[in-house]
Amino acid sequence: MDLVIIRYNAGNIRSVQIALSRLGVRAEVTDDAERIRNADKVIFPGVGEASSAMRYLQSHGLDALIAGLTQPVLGICLGLQLMCAFTEEGNTECLKIFHSEVKRFPPEKKVPHMGWNSIYGLKGPLFNGIPEGAYVYFVHSFAAEPCREQIAAADYIHPFSAALQKHNFYALQFHPEKSGDTGEKILKNFLMTGNSHGEMR
Amino acid sequence: MLTKRIIPCLDIRDGETVKGVRFTGIRRAGDPVGLARSYARAGADELVFLDITATVEKRNTFAELVQKIAHNINIPFTVGGGIRSEEDVARLLDAGADKISINSAAVRDPAVIDRLAGRFGSQCVVLAVDCKRHGDRSFVYLDGGRTQTERETLPWVREAEARGAGEILLTSMDHDGTKDGFALEITRKVSGSLNIPVIASGGAGRPEHFLEVFREGKADAALAASVFHFAEIGITQLKQYLHENAIPVRMT
């Protein structure tokens, strides 16, 4: 399988690459448009600040490229937020793959939401074999509002979207690469999603 | 519901685990990767590896070990011990660590917290604080507890949060190694005055101590070393006990 991880100015890509290697899959980290367009599967990870990440994607032509991909794409953490319509972080217009808006957690409890929390309302192929209420590892201060593309929810201060899917685009707010056996199973499920371009449209 | 985290800590010297009390005697105990895996299997929520290697030359051994750990465990882990520069941090994160902890270097040059948070993100910057009581005041210590500073604990952790620390690892030197329980009062004060998570450390001896530090100490996570190393408390049993006592924990 030809798997690529999109390189941009958001850190922590290394743990995703190592997690994939634990599953026996080599992933190339690249910002080359042709490589990304032709890969079987694409992972769009990231930890960082949304407005500077969006500016970087735009200045490198990666914004239109990502939104136009037809193979399975998996956004992780900031990746999910950038795939939404808009984020309050830096009041940033995002890729608009999902309808959801991303908002900062109100300061009623500690922010970031950091640690293991349970996910529920699980739908679709990413969560095959994952029980309702499974625990996964989160670290984030902004969260996507529940929307029709939601395939998993979690609660912290209020309910939010822990995972989204639209056609070939999948996204996780938590870190599957750090979520123990549950996270490994979700990554494996993504690796098993249909390969043929546009199959789910 | 967000759960309380149980974090075993492994002290590493020359690439090997050493068991014992942080601020006093130690003895060797073998392969850190094997131990880390068994903790992860038992339900540990995160791991901390502290490099207590005395010499600079052996530092590369630690980075190689971090790489091995990253390839073998699937839960978050923090590494610390002797981190001074942004380059140290870049090397450890590139080796696969999720978070780094800094202690003495941050007290000597607090702006290092701003630089690390700015470059790598607050989520990976853990500020470790070793504190000790003097009357009703609590002071910050350096160099593994050998050097006292003029800084008091509460103002220091508030400053660290403002500078971008993502988490506080609070060790009470008065309690470390006693097995008489965590420092509930200072933990509660620190946790209550910050908007970032606090990991309590020092003093764990019985499962009740963990219950207390979550209930009364308001800790977000609890760290221990010897009670886990010497199998005095099993992680699976500890989490079952906390669960039965209505503390939210991740059951595996």
Domain with A165, as residue range(s), is 3-192
In chain A the first and final C-alpha atoms are separated, in Å, by 22
A34 found inside a domain: yes
For the cut 60, the answer to whether the pLDDT of residue B20 exceeds it is: no
From chain A, pick out residues whose CB is under 8 angstroms from the CB of B252: 135, 180-181
Nearest CB among A48, A155, A184 relative to B121 is that of A48
- pLDDT band at residue B54, thresholds of 50, 70 and 90? low
Between the ranges A13-17, B16-20, B163-167, where is the mean pLDDT highest?
A: B163-167
Domain CATH for A27: 3.40.50.880
pLDDT at position A22 is 94
Mean pLDDT of B73-98: 92
What token pair was written down for A189? Answer: 């499920």
CB of A155 within 8 Å of any CB in chain B? yes
Q: Position B105: which residue type?
A: A
B196 contacts A112? CB cut-off 8 A = yes
pLDDT digits (tens, 9 = 90+) for B117-137: 988 889 899 999 999 999 999
For the cut 70, the answer to whether the pLDDT of residue A201 exceeds it is: no
Interface size between A and B, measured as CB pairs under 8 A = 85
A183 found inside a domain: yes
pLDDT digits (tens, 9 = 90+) for A87-105: 999 999 999 999 999 999 9
For the cut 50, the answer to whether the pLDDT of residue A174 exceeds it is: yes
Q: Which residue has the tokens 């990502």?
A: A66
- Contact indicator for B182, B172 with CB cutoff of 8 Å: yes
Nearest CB among B3, B120, B195 relative to A111 is that of B195
For the cut 60, the answer to whether the pLDDT of residue A200 exceeds it is: no
pLDDT at position B121 is 86
What token pair was written down for B131? Answer: 């504190």
Question: Which of A17, A137, A140, A184 should we substitute to test contact with B (largest number of B Cβ atoms within 10 Å)?
Answer: A137
What token pair was written down for B113? Answer: 């917290």
Three-state secondary-structure class, residue A158: strand
Structural domains of chain B, with CATH:
5-244 (3.20.20.70)
Nearest CB among B70, B120, B123 relative to A112 is that of B123
Mean pLDDT of chain A: 93
Distance, in Å, from the CA atom of A57 to the CA atom of A62, rounded to the nearest integer, reads 5
Distance, in Å, from the CA atom of B116 to the CA atom of B85, rounded to the nearest integer, reads 9
Mean pLDDT of B138-150: 91
pLDDT at position B154 is 98
Three-state secondary-structure class, residue A55: helix
Three-state secondary-structure class, residue A181: helix
For the cut 80, the answer to whether the pLDDT of residue A198 exceeds it is: no
- For every residue of chain B, which 3-state class applies, written as one string? CCCCEEEEEEEEECCEEEEECCCCCEEECCCHHHHHHHHHHHCCCCEEEEECCCCHHHHHHHHHHHHHHHHHCCCCEEEECCCCCHHHHHHHHHCCCCEEEECHHHHHCCHHHHHHHHHHCHHHEEEEEEEEEECCEEEEEEHHHCEEEEEEHHHHHHHHHHHCCCEEEEEECCCCCCCCCCCHHHHHHHHHHCCCCEEEECCCCCHHHHHHHHHCCCCCEEEECHHHHCCCCCHHHHHHHHHHCCCCCCCC
What token pair was written down for B244? Answer: 């039965």
Please state the domain count of chain A. 1
User: How far is CA B168 from its chain centroid?
Assistant: 8
Q: Could you give the C-alpha distances from A83 to A25, A47, A126, B12, in angstroms and in order? A: 25, 14, 17, 41
pLDDT at position A152 is 98
Cis peptide bond N-terminal to B197, omega within 30: no
A50 found inside a domain: yes
From chain B, pick out residues whose CB is under 8 angstroms from the CB of A137: 75-76
Beta-strand relationship, A101-104 and A142-144: antiparallel
B74 contacts A15? CB cut-off 8 A = no
R_g over Cα of chain A: 15
Question: Which of A13, A116, A182 should we substitute to test contact with B (largest number of B Cβ atoms within 10 Å)?
Answer: A116
For the cut 90, the answer to whether the pLDDT of residue B56 exceeds it is: no
pTM score? 0.94
A198 found inside a domain: no
Helix (H) or strand (E) holding A104: strand A101-104
Helix (H) or strand (E) holding A4: strand A3-6
